[in-house]
Amino acid sequence: MNEENGRFEAQVEEVLASFDFDRVHRVMEWLHWTWANLGRTPTLVELAAEGRRLLLEMRATPGVLGSGGLRASLKEDGTLSLKFILCESWSDAGEDA
């Protein structure tokens, strides 16, 4: 593993360690939020695994990737984040209608 990969994986571990998967799980249960591929609310282990998968997919590619309410992003400056999104709305003025 090269040094850059090691730094990125350490960054992923830091994000995962500070993310409150238990809180997300409680909200999902309260809302009866299910994942289509499971047909039920994911477990804490499944949430953490999906968070890890999304974060690792961001390796060296700035952008946003999401699934099941989780959203990973990597900014141009190297900032890596994981969020749980309940509701979002946006508009891109340059986007075709």
The tokens for 22 are 């238990």
Q: Which residues pair with 80 in a beta bridge?
A: 74
- Beginning with the edge strand found earlier in the chain, give each strand of the sheet holding 70-74 in spatial order: 63-67, 70-74, 80-84
Task: For residue 89, give the amino acid letter.
Answer: S
Would you list the domain boundaries of the chain?
A: 3-84
What is the per-residue pLDDT across 69-83, written as a single tens digit (0 to 9) for each?
999 999 999 999 999
Q: What pLDDT is recorded for position 81?
A: 97
How much of the chain exceeds pLDDT 70, in percent? Answer: 95
